[in-house]
Structure 1
Amino acid sequence: MPAIQVTNRIFIDESELDESFIASSGPGGQNVNKVATACQLRFDVAHSPAFNDHVRSRLMALSGSRLTLDGVIVITARQFRTQERNRADARERLFALIREAAIVPIARRATKPTLASKKRRLDEKSNRASIKKGRGKPSFD
């Protein structure tokens, strides 16, 4: 089976995707009652050789409620009236999730405010306080 290129470095074998079609709700008239148009896509993340451990763990974390206890991502697409469009939609949603997991997050480095920024903040606070104090009733001292 041919491999599907998801990113520059991630390729998924077509045989790893398990697609089944189920009865759908929503638009379609009588067609909804007769034809199974909704696509349920299953992808076993836990046992896929396409990922390293970092991408796999990020993908499993991003999957949320779509991830089963066995490490399988289940995506159900029922937005469209045809099997082909629902199948393409389910695949694109899976690939978008994988692309998002492949991006390495930038580590945040904690910084301290400069002395000048602390002084500016305190000056602005005192300026604002004097503005508000001037709004009150005048005192007769």
Structure 2
Amino acid sequence: MIHSNVFEAIQNESGIRRIDNIYIDRDGNSEDNSFSIEQLMIEIDFKLWVFQVNREFDEIELILKSKLEINFEEYKEFNSLSNLKGLEIGSLFAIINERGYTDGVKLKLFSGILTSGTPPFCGTLTLISLASGLQYELSSVGIDTYLI
């Protein structure tokens, strides 16, 4: 069995994972309408979940930070994902290739409190690591709807 440690950083995090804010760090060479980014930062309960590509192993990694080492003003709020504010992250899935590398993650998103019965499913945010950076897709339909 292949194991991934991509979620090791948040393994001991408990409580509701409500998205307070979402930011991106774009490569200076990328277009504004490009889906390729350097980092995706999700602020949850005053902590930042930073998704980025580990270039040494060409796989996605998740780092938990209490603050950024650089000025937050240098980061743009990514308007097309700003509608994720207030949603809650349910299950997280690792996407592992045949060689055991974690090529991506899927985050199941819900509206409402996850502890109150069955909250409405909103969508799945998928992040894939490529040599050029992270690629993302936000989907509200598809086979993911039926997995949980």
**What TM-score does the superposition give when structure 1 sets the normalisation length?**
0.27
Structure number with larger C-alpha Rg? 1
**What TM-score does the superposition give when structure 2 sets the normalisation length?**
0.26
Which has more helix, going by share of residues? 1
Structure with greater contact order relative to length (CA < 8 Å, sep ≥ 6): 2
